[in-house]
A and B are shown apart, each in its own frame.
Chain A
Amino acid sequence: MELIEEKKNLNYFRAQIIDSVYVSGNGHIGGALSCVDLIYMIYKYCIEKKKKGHKDRDRFILSKGHACLAQYCVLAHYDHFSKKELKKFRSSKGILEGHPETSIPGIETASGSLGIGASVSVGIAKGLLLKKSKANVYCIISDGESQEGIIWEASMFASHYNLGNLTFILDYNNLQQDGKTSEIMNIQPISSKWKSFGWAVKMIDGHNLNQIKKSLLWSKKNSKKPKLIIAKTTKGKGVSFMENSLDWHGTSPPTSDQYSRALEELKIDPKKMNY
């Protein structure tokens, strides 16, 4: 199935991510481009399915908070705030902090100090079960983040308390600030690690929209097990010279030439960035 509208929107979000960093002078482009497909699909097919404030509305937490621009673009798309705010990213004049915070509409928790968002997510999931809510909780963690001890405390907790309403999505691009995750601190065998912690695990291509959509349907299946979707991704996805490059982890902005080239590759008219 061709998800034409989604693909078009995602190119625009990618351009917005690059534009925000270009304007603000810093930010994390690579990790945002790596998970923006996942975030948009989660909002489109889960979170935004029910109205704000509905007790069974699904929840989303971006535990790898440095990639927040991906979430901010999606939140602006769904009118949680004006997209003009994206131009004030990381600025004292705007509302969009360098990492997510609850003062920003649509954000459930502060995150980005890695591992904390994942732990807050298990608390939300446990609380929703106690309240007999039908809502599901989605949380994106990164591969580098999986090196944090609290991830495994949260993982153990989720399976012990049968948090079947909880899905973690592992944005697995195999790059972290200092180099390849496999070389810095290998997290493999990641699938069997999570399985042995009592989670149901599914592997997908994290940029294939159909696979993402299917995996989200899978996540809603009745089960006592928490679920992990391992999404194989590419850091910097969508812009050739940013892909798989540590230079785009953060926080330097693109030059004006790089900015133009990136928008050209994404087939986005720079005029569409005038807001």
Chain B
Amino acid sequence: MQKLSMRSDYGLLMNKFMKKNKNILTLSADTTGGTHIKHAVKNFKNRHINYGIAEQNMMASAAGLARVGFIPVLNTYSAFASMRALEMLRTGICLNNANVKIVASHSGLDVGQDGPTHQTLEELGILRSIPNLKILTPVDKYDLEGQMEWMFKYKGPVYLRTIRRKIGTILKKKKKFSLGDILELKNYGKEVVIISLQITSLYSLDAAAELNRKGVKCKVLHASCLKPINESKILKAISGAKSVFVIEDHNIIGGLGTAISEILVKSNKKIKFNKIGVEDRFGKSGSAEDLFIKFKLDKKSIIKKILKNI
């Protein structure tokens, strides 16, 4: 079977949720195609609002739609959701605690050839500091489906980040999501714990398999939910490990690595800790695969960094 991208999975899954819940509306800012919400819009034309290229108005007015009882689902790219319309997200949606869901595609270097204007390497750092906002980062379509089920039951603002690349599935079946979920994707042993997120979880799994062959035993955790992050689950998972590596397609400042470091500092745990991400610089045009090599987020670079810092 042909692999679909997560944004396609998302667009198709929305049909199920929109059929079930008549209050769900889809919103886009000339991004119906790019975000793949088109898969649902074609069946629910009357419940879709296209804003044209006006993300700020889309974001703030979504709070108005929620105010009268709708569940607006915004579909746009990460750059616009987390930066262009940031104040509307913060003040219009989160301060109002409005029941709005923001689904952002095209995050990080994974954007690829569109280049640094669209590669939001700051996204998670910006969003983590906004109260009331829950941030979901599914690893595949099974994780995604469980998260969507949860998201439509939960009353309040949610930011769901999809993956652009076609990666197939990692989990074996649909998983019931609970807030703060950390998934153990692989456990070769507990010498090294790798905590990663979305696309980098795929690279982490490959790196862990190879490290296992070299005699280094890794456990791979995927942060399905960046905020709130489950502190006790993280601390339990890393208990007894020699070192922790966080791997993310994001600036090393502000994202998952920062979130984990905050937990470690608070816990006073003596453990080696490394962040593998983009070293506080902008991205560049290129295929996502090439960029992961260039920015040292690919399998080989991960292995090298782990072997050096274990």
Interface string of A132-159 (1 = CB under 8 A from B): 0100000000000000011001101100
Contacting pair A109 B51 (CB below 8 A) = no
Query: Does B240 make an interface contact (CB < 8 A)?
Result: no
For A122, the chain B residues whose CB sits under 8 A away are 57, 61, 64
For B126, the chain A residues whose CB sits under 8 A away are none
Quick one: which of A147-196 are within 8 Å of B by CB? Answer: 149-150, 153-154, 156-157, 160-161
Instruction: Given A150-B57, A156-B52, A156-B54, answer yes or no on A116-B67 (Cβ-Cβ < 8 Å).
Output: no
Instruction: Given A123-B67, A125-B64, A127-B65, answer yes or no on A110-B57 (Cβ-Cβ < 8 Å).
Output: no
Instruction: Given A150-B60, A153-B57, answer yes or no on A109-B68 (Cβ-Cβ < 8 Å).
Output: no
Q: Output the least CB separation between A250 and chain B (Å).
A: 19
Quick one: which of B13-50 are within 8 Å of A by CB? Answer: 25, 49
Q: Output the least CB separation between A130 and chain B (Å).
A: 7
Instruction: Given A109-B64, A110-B91, answer yes or no on A126-B49 (Cβ-Cβ < 8 Å).
Output: yes
Query: Does A128 make an interface contact (CB < 8 A)?
Result: yes
Query: Does A234 make an interface contact (CB < 8 A)?
Result: no
Among candidates B54, B67, B95, residue contacting A153 with C-beta atoms closer than 8 Å? B54
Query: Does B69 make an interface contact (CB < 8 A)?
Result: yes
For A133, the chain B residues whose CB sits under 8 A away are 68
What is the chain A residue whose CB lies nearest that of B88?
Answer: A116
For B51, the chain A residues whose CB sits under 8 A away are 153, 157
Quick one: which of A100-134 are within 8 Å of B by CB? Answer: 101-102, 108-110, 113, 115-116, 119-128, 130-131, 133
Contacting pair B91 A123 (CB below 8 A) = no
Q: Output the least CB separation between B41 and chain A (Å).
A: 15
Instruction: Given A119-B61, A120-B63, answer yes or no on A113-B68 (Cβ-Cβ < 8 Å).
Output: no
Q: Output the least CB separation between A135 and chain B (Å).
A: 9
Query: Does B191 make an interface contact (CB < 8 A)?
Result: no
For B63, the chain A residues whose CB sits under 8 A away are 109, 120, 123
Among candidates B61, B95, B97, residue contacting A123 with C-beta atoms closer than 8 Å? B61
B: number of interface residues (CB 8 Å): 27
For A131, the chain B residues whose CB sits under 8 A away are 68-69
Instruction: Given A113-B91, A130-B70, answer yes or no on A154-B52 (Cβ-Cβ < 8 Å).
Output: no
Interface string of B175-218 (1 = CB under 8 A from A): 00000000000000000000000000000000000000000000
For B68, the chain A residues whose CB sits under 8 A away are 124, 127-128, 131, 133
For B54, the chain A residues whose CB sits under 8 A away are 153, 156-157
Query: Does B56 make an interface contact (CB < 8 A)?
Result: yes
For A156, the chain B residues whose CB sits under 8 A away are 52, 54
Instruction: Given A102-B96, A119-B64, A119-B88, answer yes or no on A127-B57 (Cβ-Cβ < 8 Å).
Output: no
Contacting pair B65 A123 (CB below 8 A) = yes
Q: Output the least CB separation between A131 and chain B (Å).
A: 6
Contacting pair B92 A116 (CB below 8 A) = yes
Contacting pair A154 B57 (CB below 8 A) = yes
For A108, the chain B residues whose CB sits under 8 A away are 67
State A161–B72 Cα separation when bound (angstroms).
17
Among candidates A113, A124, A127, residue contacting B87 with C-beta atoms closer than 8 Å? A113
Query: Does B62 make an interface contact (CB < 8 A)?
Result: yes
Q: Output the least CB separation between B188 and chain A (Å).
A: 49
23 A-B interface contacts by CB (under 8 A)? A109-B96, A110-B95, A113-B87, A113-B91, A116-B88, A116-B91, A119-B56, A120-B60, A120-B63, A120-B67, A120-B92, A124-B65, A124-B68, A127-B68, A131-B69, A133-B68, A153-B54, A154-B60, A156-B52, A156-B54, A157-B51, A157-B54, A161-B49
Beyond A109-B67, A127-B67, list 17 extra A-B contacts (CB 8 Å).
Answer: A102-B97, A109-B63, A115-B60, A116-B60, A119-B57, A119-B60, A120-B63, A120-B64, A122-B57, A122-B64, A123-B63, A123-B66, A127-B64, A150-B56, A154-B60, A157-B54, A157-B61
A residues engaging B (CB < 8 A)? 101-102, 108-110, 113, 115-116, 119-128, 130-131, 133, 149-150, 153-154, 156-157, 160-161
Nearest 4 A/B pairs, CB to CB: A123-B64, A123-B61, A119-B60, A153-B57
